[in-house]
Structures are given as C-alpha cells and as structure tokens.
Amino acid sequence: MLYIAVAIFSWQMKYFRHIDNNYLIFRQAYYHARSGLNLYAAYPKEYYDMYYYGPLFSLFVAPFAIPPEVVGLFLWEVANAVVVIVAVNMLTLDNRRKMLMLLLCAIEFANAVFYMQFNPMITAMIIISFMLVERGKDQWATLLIVAGTLIKLYPVVGLAFFAFSKDKPKFIIWTIAWFGIMMILPTIISSPAFVINSYHQWFDALSYKSALNTGLNTSQDMCVMGVVRRLTGNVNIPNLPFLVAGAFIFAMPFLRFKQFDSHKFRLQVLATALIMVVIFSTGAEHPTFIIAVAGVVLWIMIQDKPFTTTNNILIILLLVITGLGLTDVMPKPIRQDIIAKYSMKAWPCIIAWFIISYELMFKDFIKEGSAIDKHYHRGIAA
C-alpha cells in the first residue's frame, strides 16, 4: 500500500503541475519510432533533455504511451511500484524481512518514482532474473536479462547468474535466441533499417553522454570514479583503472565453486551485482540508487542478525545520506556544498560493496551454515 500510495502521489503531483518531462521523453520514443524519427535527436518543442535508452524501449513503453497522457503516466508510476513489490516477494526471505526490505528501500523508491524513472523496473529485472535462475527457469530469466540490457545496459550484470544455472546449455541457447528476437522486435512499429541505425545512434549517444557525465559539478557521476574525482578536484582521472579493478573484484568470488552450494552466497552475489552496476557507472544519479540500495538492504536482510551495530550505522547512512541527502529534507548548504559536491550519496553503497565483496572472496558460507541456507535446503527437501 505504501509503494502504490507513493506512486499515485507522484503521478498526481507531476501530471497536474506539468512537470512530467521524463515521462514525456519515454512516451514520445514510441511515436518517434513509429514515425521513423531519430530517437536521439533533440525535440525542444516536446521535452527538454535527450533520450538515452535502447530502441527496444520504444516498443516496451507502448502500453504507457498509447493511452492518454494522464492514464499513461498513472500506469507507468504504479507499474514501477508493482514490479518492485513482486521482485522482493520472490526472494527467499521470510515475510518480516521482505517487509523490512521494502520499508528500508521506500525512500529510494520515492526518489526514483518522483523522477518517473525506469530504475525500479531495472531493480526488479535483476532480482527476478536471479530468482528465475534459482528456480531453473532460465528461458524467462534470460528474457529479462537480454531485454533489460537492450533497454538500459544495467541488467547485463544478470549474465553473471549463468554461474548458478542448473542447465548452462539452456541458459546459453535462450540468451542467444532472446538476443536475436529482442534486436528485431522494435521493427513491429518501425523498420529493420531504422532499428539498425538506431542501435548505432544509441551507442554514439551513450559515448557522448558518458563524456558529459564526467565532471566536478554534474548531477551524475555519483560513482567510485566520480567520488575520487571530486575529492581530489581532478576531473581528468580516467574511468578504466576503476572499471578493471571493479570487474576483477566482482569476478573473484566466481572462482569459489564450492561456495555455490550456499544460497546465502548466491544471494550475496545478487546483492553485490545490484550495487556494482550503479557505483561503477558515470551515469549514476540521484534516482538511480534504488538499484544499489536494494542490494545493500538485501545483504543486510540475509544476515542471521541483520541489526548489528555496524549494520544499524550503515542503515542510518543509507536513509539519511543516500536517501534524504539530495532532497529538500536536507538543509540546502549541506545538500549542495557537501553531499552533492563530493557525491556523498554514493558513499554508503561503496562502503557496503567493499564489505560484501570481501566476504564473498574470503568467508566460508558453507561452514557458516546460516539460517537462510538451512531454511532454503529444508524447502528443497520438502
């Protein structure tokens, strides 16, 4: 009820005050694709800013673009709430922990839905694809991974769940099949030539956008590299060394094959994946962090004792700095001159990611015999 209420509140405030620019960008992508217009050109008479999603999104957004704007925006906001609720409900947590996870993510969800962003759906795609792999439904898991990747890249991290697949040939075959289908699917409303050209334009637009994101005063670049750039005042610090190091740290736990039998280990990989796609992206901005915060809170919720002193401090930082730090709740001098200036919104998630990654590399999950593993294996046996 809370999530639906937040979505509806955001809808009425944005629509009736005519501050629904992000939704208009998404909506118009459908009509531009149908008309064969360049998706990545500027359309100042329709909206400000630019479109940076894949050509597949122009078809995906159709159910929210075809109805009248007041209905389409309403459906968009509510759909973002529903998918997060569904994703969390699929997790192998007890109902109390699912409820706590939703509550602790509520502020970040509000931040995302307030800007009418796609990020709650990305969060859900990554979580649901993981759970579908856990259930042996690789054909549907790979659909979400491929579709999400061709819309906004972040869900590509779901390919890492291949390591946990019970039928790896099936995973590979369906990934290839869905990639082919999803690449050509937008031709339903356009043409093959338009779609091929749009993919080229998309990659050019992303390269251009990445260069724009990097700076000391942008509203994006809230990532590991951005934090270092802002702390040092050196805008020329390159991304590549950080991306290589991040990929190495993320990949190391996948060499611990014996740990794969631990459901907690696998859930912790899901948590680190959710965080990593945000804290190593120069496109990370205020509404993006629903993805990362979901990862941090998931990690906390799978602990036998979630509310230790350390975790409580981390939760407070998540709620106050990450959640409220860039909102009007925070006094303007603190919000602009400290939190925004040094990309502090990302700090709690970065700290959590290193802790989680360290555990994934060195902790013996099998020997630990956590409560969530015992509960999971009892369920399998039953």
Structural element, H or E, at residue 271? helix 263-279
**What is the crossing angle of helices 119-134 and 290-301, to 10°?**
40
**What is the crossing angle of helices 224-232 and 240-251, to 10°?**
140
- How many helices (H) and strands (E) are present in the chain, helices listed first? 19, 0
Tokens 């209420």, residue located: 5
Distance CA 10, CA 17 (A): 11
- How confident is the model at residue 382, as a pLDDT? 53
pLDDT (tens digit, 0 to 9) for every residue of the chain, 382 residues total? Answer: 999 999 999 999 999 999 999 999 999 999 999 999 999 999 999 999 999 999 999 999 999 999 999 999 999 999 999 999 999 999 999 999 999 999 999 999 999 999 999 999 999 999 999 999 999 999 999 999 999 999 999 999 999 999 999 999 999 999 999 999 999 999 999 999 999 999 999 999 998 888 888 888 888 999 999 999 999 999 999 999 999 999 999 999 999 999 999 999 999 999 999 999 999 999 999 999 999 999 999 999 999 999 999 999 999 999 999 999 999 999 999 999 999 999 999 999 999 999 999 999 999 999 998 999 988 877 765 5
Closest CA to 116 of 47, 210, 209: 47
Give whole-number Cα distances, 172 to 5, 157, 179, in Å: 40, 15, 11
Which amino acid appears at position 38 of this protein? N
The answer to whether 278 and 291 have CB atoms below 8 angstroms apart is yes
Global pTM value = 0.96
Distance CA 244, CA 124 (A): 26
Identify the three-state secondary structure at position 218. Answer: coil
Identify the three-state secondary structure at position 39. Answer: coil
- How confident is the model at residue 233, as a pLDDT? 94
Distance CA 276, CA 242 (A): 12
